[in-house]
């Protein structure tokens, strides 16, 4: 009913309305299919819209869908930001997607992505999940980020360090 009214009233191409509809459908349990339909119908698929769709997939634990949307985002030449990369790294760790995780790491280095504690923590989690090593991620992170004490306190004990 809401979707029909939005289309009928001419708000179908408004990014804010589209993001709200994606969120609404995803909040209704198994409405991800309807959310994807709204997403596909939108003409202006900007970074915020892609991140909304990816974030909803993360929220529902649909890591393979996160990767699928991320790859489609790249094909559409939409440049990911820190938030999107955090979500993709989380999906990589969940799926055990070693190659994609390494690609994201190299992308962060190559594009000089400014990262805060959230990205640092996602990289730590991804590296422990996929690479199982303290030395590798520490040498990478000390160059780019200031390590968050919280991330060290939470991650190291769980890995036996």
145 within 8 A of 115, measured Cβ to Cβ = yes
Q: What sign does the CA torsion over 38, 40, 41, 46 have?
A: positive
Residue 76 has a pLDDT of: 92
Residue with tokens 């991620």: 137
Are 92 and 101 in contact, with CB atoms under 8 Å apart? Answer: yes
Among residues 114, 112, 87, the alpha carbon closest in space to that of 101 is found at 87
What is the pLDDT at residue 56? Answer: 86
E strands, the chain, in order: none
How far, in Å, are 57, 97, 104 from residue 14 at the CA level?
Answer: 21, 34, 30
pLDDT band at 5 (very low <50, low <70, confident <90, very high): low
Q: How far apart are CA 148 and CA 63, in angstroms?
A: 25
Distance, CA of 13 to CA of 109 (rounded, Å): 35
Q: What is the pTM of this model?
A: 0.73
Per-domain boundaries in the chain: 1-79, 80-161
Highest average pLDDT, of 74-83, 105-114, 122-131, comes from 74-83
Percentage of the chain exceeding pLDDT 90: 20
Lowest mean pLDDT among 51-60, 62-71, 92-101, 127-136: 127-136
Cα 79-103-160 angle, rounded to 5 deg: 120
The conformational region for residue 158 under phi > 0 = left, psi -120 to 50 = alpha, else beta, is alpha
Task: Indicate the pLDDT class of residue 38, thresholds 50, 70 and 90.
Answer: confident
More confident residue, 100 or 10: 100
């Amino acid at each position: 009913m809401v979707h029909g009214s939005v289309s009928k009233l001419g708000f179908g191409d408004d990014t804010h309305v589209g993001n709200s509809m994606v969120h609404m459908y995803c909040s209704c349990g198994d409405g991800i299919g309807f959310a994807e339909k709204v997403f596909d119908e939108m003409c202006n698929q900007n970074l915020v819209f892609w991140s909304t769709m990816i974030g909803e997939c993360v929220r529902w634990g649909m890591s393979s869908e996160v990767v699928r949307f991320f790859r489609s985002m790249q094909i559409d030449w939409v440049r990911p930001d820190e938030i999107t990369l955090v979500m993709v790294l989380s999906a990589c760790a969940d799926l055990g997607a070693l190659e994609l995780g390494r690609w994201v790491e190299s992308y962060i280095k190559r594009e000089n992505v400014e990262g805060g504690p959230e990205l640092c923590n996602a990289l730590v989690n991804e590296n422990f999940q996929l690479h199982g090593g303290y030395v590798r991620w520490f040498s990478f992170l000390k160059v780019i980020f200031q390590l968050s004490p919280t991330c060290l306190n939470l991650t190291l004990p769980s890995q036996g360090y």
